Amino acid sequence: MNFRPQGYEPCGHSWLPYPAIIIVKRGFIYKLYCEIGAGNFLYSVFLKGFMSLKKSVLLLFFILLFVNQSFAFDMKVSLTSPENMNLNGQVAYYNLRESSGVEINGSSIVEGSSMLIENVVEGNYSLSVDLDDLQTESYDYFGTFNGFVEENKIINLFVLPIGSISVSVVDANNKPIKRALLRIDCSKSYGSNGYFRTDEFGVVNVPRLPEASCLIRCAVDDYVKNRDINVTKGLHQKVDFEFDEIKSDFNYLFSVIVVVLVVGFFGFIFFSKRSYRKNIKKDVVKNNSASKEDLLITLNESERKVVEFLLHEKESSSNKNNFFVNQANIIHGAGIPKTTLVRLLSSLEKKKILEVEKFGKSKRVRFTAWFDKK
């Protein structure tokens, strides 16, 4: 059996059925303060030294049991809807708040047209009730009551039809927009008319809208969009707002970073090749004889680029006597397309500067003995 009135939690000691402040000193209980319902009752129990703590607790338990049996009662609520619909069997979810701030949340099954809230004591209460027909998607009726509650008094509660909506707000990249402001105005004033904001997922759920036509306005920065919906009793509807004018900061920043990296990469390659070619020319001028320089002057720019590349490679090679370069290395190293290189090698062969020999599927390129002697 539950000896504690609903909504009251033990204070300090779990073995007490009522909220209390216990002052324990040297094994004796001096005072017990209990708050019950509408009235505040001060119980002062003065126990002498001859009574042990265990006996004191037992005595206290029976005192509180007596108080509980004397003051708690079941509150009956009579429900009425505009259409006088049969509410029997629906689930009633209620919130009962006492004037002192004590709050009770629970549920009850509607029998006929009434429901019970157990273990209530006299006092001023605020009551809100949601009725749910389990065959529908959301709550079907909603009602509130404010007033004094006492034993044997039936509370008459008029409930009104409601529906619910879920609003989603996204940007042009289909990313959720947090803290988007919504205002809902319906042709009937009861329920959840007013202002709302989306959560971190860009969503807001509104559970109690009146069965009426409603205008939903959504504002993000300087942009405002509207939606008209007809709320139906027990129906849950989804409303989507997409702001094509707004793009995610993350995507914009990511795009900028990608562009900077790509430009930087190709810029690095371009200047590296340019620097490499300058170094080739410096090495060629430094190491070549006057007769080789005279030959290089007679070549066109593309031919000279090939010869300068080979001279630079030979200078850095450890095997200068049997030096050669694969054709593929010239393509990548000098930055010359394959078809152009074939034509240039043929021209340099005719000028007796280079000789090309096939080696398997590749081609080896080397200087002629005549050019090496220059």
Of 158, 182, 203, which residue sits at a domain end? Answer: 158
Angle between helices 290-298 and 301-315 (to 10 degrees): 150
pLDDT at 252: 56
pLDDT < 50 stretches in the chain? 1-50, 280, 284-285
Give the model's pLDDT for residue 328.
87
Q: Give residue-wise pLDDT tens across range 337-347.
A: 888 888 988 89
pLDDT at 323: 87
- Asked if the structure places residue 323 within a domain, the reply is yes
Q: What is the 3-state secondary structure (H, E, C) of the chain?
A: CCCCCCCCCCCCCCCCCCCEEEEEECCEEEEEEEEECCEEEEECCCCCCCCCHHHHHHHHHHHHHHHHHHHCEEEEEEEECCCCCCCCCCEEEEEEEECCCCEEEEEEECECCEEEEEEECCEEEEEEEEEECCCCCCCCEEEEEEEEECCCCEEEEECEEEEEEEEEEEECCCCECCCCEEEEEECCCCCCCEEEECCCCCEEEEEEEECCEEEEEEEECCEEEEEEEECCCCCEEEEEEEECCCCCHHHHHHHHHHHHHHHHHHHHHHHHHHHHHHHHHHHHHHHCCHHHHHHHHHCCHHHHHHHHHHHHHHHCCCCCCCCCEEHHHHHHHHCCCHHHHHHHHHHHHHCCCEEEEEECCEEEEEECHHHHCC
CA distance 339 to 363: 14
**Same domain flag for 78 and 115:** yes
Please report, for the domain that includes residue 367, its CATH number: 1.10.10.10
Predicted pLDDT of residue 52: 58
State whether 57 and 135 are in the same domain. no
Q: Does any domain span residue 7?
A: no
Domain, as residue range, for 199: 162-247
pTM: 0.51
Same domain? 352 vs 298: yes
In a domain, 115, yes or no: yes
Residue 272 belongs to some domain of the structure: no
Is 44 in the same domain as 64?
Answer: yes
* pLDDT at site 30: 35
- Give me 205's structure tokens: 């759920």
Q: Look at residue 301 and tell me if it is in a domain.
A: yes
Q: Is 265 contained in some domain?
A: no
Residues 142 and 169 in one domain: no
Q: How confident is the model at residue 50, as a pLDDT?
A: 44
Check whether residue 99 and residue 50 sit in a common domain: no
291 and 343, same structural domain? yes
Task: For residue 97, give the CATH number of its domain.
Answer: 2.60.40.1120
Backbone angles phi, psi at 273, to 5 degrees: -65, -40
What's the pLDDT score for residue 47? 43
Domain identity same for 217 and 283: no
Closest by Cα among 60, 4, 8 to 29: 60
- pLDDT of amino acid 283: 52
Residue 270: the pLDDT is 66
Q: What is the pLDDT of residue 8?
A: 41
Q: Give 166-195 pLDDT, tens digit per residue.
A: 999 999 999 999 999 999 999 999 988 899
Assess whether 312 and 367 both reside in one domain.
yes
- Which residues have CB under 8 Å from 54's CB, separation 6+? none
In a domain, 253, yes or no: no
Task: Tell which of 118, 139, 158 closes a domain.
Answer: 158
291 and 235 in one domain?
Answer: no
Of 201, 228, 247, at which residue does a domain stop?
A: 247
Do 284 and 368 reside in the same domain of the chain?
yes
Give the Cα separation of 189 and 146 in Å (integer): 18
Residue 207: inside a domain, yes or no?
yes
pLDDT of residue 310: 87
Do residues 132 and 208 touch, judged by C-beta distance below 8 A?
Answer: no
pLDDT score for 291: 74
How many domains, the chain? Answer: 4
Q: Are residues 66 and 93 in the same domain?
A: no
Cβ pair 17, 29 in contact under 8 A: no
